[in-house]
Chains A and B, each alone.
Chain A
Amino acid sequence: MKNNYTLVIGLEIHAQLQTKSKMFCTDAVQFGAEPNSLTSPISLGHPGAMPVVNKKAVEFAIKMGLACGCKINELNYFDRKNYFYPDLPKGYQTTQDKAPICVGGAVEIRSGNGEKKTVRLNRIHMEEDAGKLIHLEGNADSFIDLNRAGTPLIEIVTEPDLRSAGDASTFLMAIRKLVRYLEICDGNMEEGSFRCDANVSVMPTGSTEYGKKVEIKNMNSFRFVQKAIDFEFSRQCNLLENGAEILSETRMFSAETGETYAMRSKETMNDYRYFPDPDLQPIFVDEKWLNSIREKMPPLPAFLFEKFTSHYLLTENDATFLTENRETALYFEALCLSKIPAKISANWLMGTVQSYLRENNLEMNQFPISASSLGELIQLVLDNTISHTIAAGELFNQLVLSPETPPINLAEKLNLFQNSDEAFLKEAIDKILLQMPDKVAAYKSGKKGLLGLFMGELKKATQGKADPRLSSQLLERALN
């Protein structure tokens, strides 16, 4: 049945900007602080309190616009969006309606099947966050914490270009990757510093006219975004199949049931009565300011992906992994700069380093070994001084514990150097072969795969220190 319909999705993404202070006043921006301890007459909306714009927040918004290829609006002003809700003490949200700071632009994603898709942006605008409402089961009141009120946000609004729940989630990840690369938002969906609403509609396949759209809220993970949209797709298809009407409404996603449900019906159409905020002077973004921001732009994931595949000749999979976050990408580049071949650098990062991080539940920026030090360690393997097994095992583990010590000193102290002493290795090999006459016979009758077993035994007998290349030469000679 779903085959007869096309799913149409547009996203509205709110990203809290990682400034120290709020958008229009000097309250600290901080998650998890004591309730109502980060307020001022401005964030509480007391009469006569006058807001002043945080310059950094504007620069962060511009950075995001530049990263997405948006046109940066020259003359900006803020508007008041008027409505009453207890988490909004002023009675209006300061936002940008008519003159958003960034217009247009696009972000490219890779669909599940590897196909490239361009998702156009409608706009990115600046606004302030509201306070937080807390509803406790069994309590007749709602509680309000205004610490979050006035936190700077950007809202990224897409065109209705997404056609599957998977693509929506992929796009959301691409945006999160961007804000993290730009270091303008921590992208934490659980704590709500990165939030997403989805506008979802369906239309008969082949049609060019969009159906009635439903807005879904309350999806605080990538998985939930996907689940909620998939659920909504089925729900809307079912309605249409049964000849029912789709209501333009706001629906909440429930993580417990995996379904969406209608919020209490909206009172008459929202009428926000936007008008320019007279308390905030316009913002004029001239070419000089724009250029100074442009100059400070870090390399972005799409650029690095391209560089890693075309310059370093990595596979797309490797490049995707390495550009997942900025720290890993920069670390990889640093390893390459210390003369470690790209593929080997990539393998170390995706193997040994990644398992270490996963086991210890760490992020790349918490990895204790510097790129130059890890480069020295890898060089020991490339020089045949230490076996790969020992380097990635014992030596790596020691280096994590004392990252300041040069790897070669650690190897010396722990006696980890590879053994390339031919006489020594020969003796060890002879001993092993003597102990397994049946396997030797099997090898000689054609089971060449047994070579690996002998190598394994030799590794064991030499605590992994046998030079692998020399060993396999000696082994083959001994067996033939």
Chain B
Amino acid sequence: MKIDKNTVDKIAHLARLKLSDAETEKMQSNMEQILSWMEKLNELDTTGVEPLTHMSQEVNVFREDVVGSHLSKEKALENATFKDENFFRVPKII
């Protein structure tokens, strides 16, 4: 299956990846290979077969509405790249 450069650019953008021209080219061919392989599945007739969304047959796995323990604020912020004593911080977006 053919993938054009625009499609690769769009997917890279959605994933917030910045690819060099060489990387884009490589990605393009990788994706083509993957999709070609997946195309094999299209040979199967799946009419009337429900999509398999989950690997187990379990349903209704619930928890009761009970409050448990929280991370401390310090712990919560620990891995953040930018922060102050109260908040995660990011470059202004509005």
Contact = CB atoms under 8 A, between A and B. Distances in A.
Interface of A: 19-21, 25-28, 34-41, 44, 52-58, 77, 82, 84-86, 133-135, 139-146, 264, 267-268, 271, 273, 276, 278, 280-284
Given A19-B65, A52-B62, A283-B60, A134 B73 contact: no
Given A26-B68, A146-B76, A273-B14, A278 B87 contact: no
Contact of A86 (B56, B60, B62, B88): B88
Nearest to A263: B94
A166 to B, nearest CB: 31
Contact of B92 (A20, A34, A36, A140): A140
B3 to A, nearest CB: 16
B92 A139 contact: yes
The dominant DSSP class at the A interface is: loop
B90 interface: yes
B5 interface: no
B40 interface: no
Contacts, number: 129
A140 B91 contact: yes
A141 B61 contact: no
Contacts of B68: 21, 25-27, 40
A186 to B, nearest CB: 16
B18 interface: no
A135 B61 contact: no
A292 B4 CA distance: 54
A145 B94 contact: no
B92 to A, nearest CB: 5
B44 interface: no
B41 interface: no
A35 B55 contact: no
A284 B60 contact: yes
Contacts of B55: 278
A400 to B, nearest CB: 36
A53 B64 CA distance: 9
B22 interface: no
A58 B73 contact: no
Contacts of B65: 19-21, 54-57
Given A142-B89, A281-B60, A284-B60, A20 B66 contact: yes
A92 to B, nearest CB: 12
Contacts of B34: none
Contacts of A143: 84, 86-89
A21 B69 CA distance: 11
Sort A-B residue pairs by CB-CB distance and give the 8 closest, nearest first: A26-B68, A56-B65, A143-B87, A55-B62, A276-B53, A144-B88, A284-B59, A141-B89
